[in-house]
Chain A
């Protein structure tokens, strides 16, 4: 069965901490995505990657960076966490041209 795995379901961090959210997919997909989901706003794209070491900004990249050193792993980094980054974070992957995305189970991050 296809799998996208996020490293944590729930995370509580302090303001100013550096936070790493990890995502691993086992489907050899080229494309990987990080979204955040907030009430009333739906899912919004933070960053995506279409190949190893490649990254593109999404709609709301400010305050975030990403790393893709291996094809199966896509990391989202909050350099200095702030309370307005409290949200549900979802990772997804897809194979080029197939149109279908597979999602992880989500990480609910609270920044206090």
Chain B
């Protein structure tokens, strides 16, 4: 069993839909990261959080430390949101070492 599990693996949505991607982890963490990878490969950090909730534009990330669970929400989804979303956790106190989920491939259709 992976230390970081994401669901769903693949997700297709219609433009405008509200999207939720889930991440569960089984180890103690110092922080959790949500990353976005567009076709072509480059990865961009969306959020880093250790408690509560963060919002950036149409993206919201939440984390429940007790339940070892995080969600990434996209409101009013758009085709340009189509990407792979990766959950990663920092497992060391310095935050240097990341353990990654396998990613969720999202396609938003117009």
Contact of B43 among A41, A44, A96, A103 (CB under 8 A): A103
Q: Which of A20-47 contact B (CB under 8 A)?
A: 31, 40-45
What separation, in Å, do the CA atoms of A98 and B30 have in the docked complex? 11
Q: Which of A81-106 contact B (CB under 8 A)?
A: 88, 90, 92, 94, 96-106
What separation, in Å, do the CA atoms of A105 and B41 have in the docked complex? 6
For residue A13, CB closer than 8 A to chain B, the reply is no
**Could you tell me the distance in whole angstroms from the C-beta of B76 to the nearest C-beta in chain A?**
27
For residue B95, CB closer than 8 A to chain A, the reply is yes
* Contact yes or no, B95 A94, CB < 8 A: yes
In the complex, how many residues of chain A place their beta carbon closer than 8 angstroms to a beta carbon of chain B? 27
What separation, in Å, do the CA atoms of A104 and B35 have in the docked complex? 13
Which residues of chain A come closer than 8 Å to B100, judged between CB atoms?
42-44
In the complex, how many residues of chain B place their beta carbon closer than 8 angstroms to a beta carbon of chain A? 24
* Contact yes or no, A48 B86, CB < 8 A: no
* Contact yes or no, A105 B42, CB < 8 A: yes
* Contact yes or no, A99 B30, CB < 8 A: yes
Q: Which of B29-75 contact A (CB under 8 A)?
A: 30-31, 33, 35, 40-45, 48
Q: Which of B54-107 contact A (CB under 8 A)?
A: 86, 88, 90, 94-98, 100-103
CB-defined A-B contacts under 8 Å, sample of 18:
A9-B41, A31-B96, A42-B100, A42-B103, A43-B88, A43-B98, A48-B97, A94-B95, A99-B33, A99-B48, A100-B45, A101-B45, A101-B98, A102-B45, A103-B35, A103-B45, A105-B41, A106-B41
- Residues of A that sit less than 8 Å from B by CB: 9, 31, 40-45, 48, 50, 88, 90, 92, 94, 96-108
